Amino acid sequence: MPRLQNTRMNFDYCLTYKYIKFCSSDPHLTNYLEDEFLDEQVKSIKKYTENIVNLRRVGAGLGEYIFDKDVKD
């Protein structure tokens, strides 16, 4: 969970910075932020969230073992 929270916090900071630069009309910086940071942050948040949901579904024991095995492959 801490990793997901950190990723979401970074995403929020990037959005805030993007908004500030958008207000100052700097299209190059806005494009750079979107391409280099925001897209990757969205993908990471989605991946972490899916993993957390799957771990909650499988439960303890054999489910965790199978989940770990699938993630490593």
| pLDDT of the residue at 17 | 67
pLDDT in tens, 45-65: 888 888 788 878 877 787 778
Residues of the chain with pLDDT under 70: 1, 3-4, 14, 17-24, 73
The tokens for 28 are: 């190059």
Spans of all domains in the chain: 2-72
Q: Top-level CATH class of 2-72?
A: mainly alpha
41 is known to lie in a ligand binding site:
yes
Q: What is the pTM of this model?
A: 0.53
The tokens for 50 are: 């899916």
d(CA 44, CA 37): 11
